[in-house]
Amino acid sequence: MKDPIPFGKYLLTERIDVGGTAEVFTARAPDGARCAVKRLLPGLSADREVVAMFLAEARLGARLAHPGIVRILDVGRIGEGWYLAMEYVPGADLAALLARLRAAGRRLPVPVSAWIGAEVARALAHAHALRGPDGRPLEVVHGDVSPQNVLVSFAGQVKLIDFGLAGPPGGALRGKLGYMSAEQAEGRRPDRRSDLFSLGVVLHEMLSGERLFRGGSPLETLERVRRAPIPPPSAANPEVPPGLDDAVLQALARDPAARPAGAAELGGALDRFADNRGAAALREVVKAALPEAWARERAAAAAG
Catalytic member of 3, 31, 74, 144: 144
Contact between residue 243 and residue 273 where contact means Cβ atoms under 8 Å apart:
yes
For CA atoms 170, 172, 177, 178, give the dihedral sign: negative
For CA atoms 297, 97, 109, 115, give the dihedral sign: positive
Name which of 37, 49, 44 is nearest 21 in CA terms: 44
* Distance of alpha carbon 295 from alpha carbon 34, whole angstroms: 17
- Whole-Å CA distances, 218 to 30, 149, 215, 231, 270: 44, 20, 7, 21, 31
DSSP 141: B
Asked about 195 being catalytic, the answer comes back as no
**What is the set of active-site residues?**
144
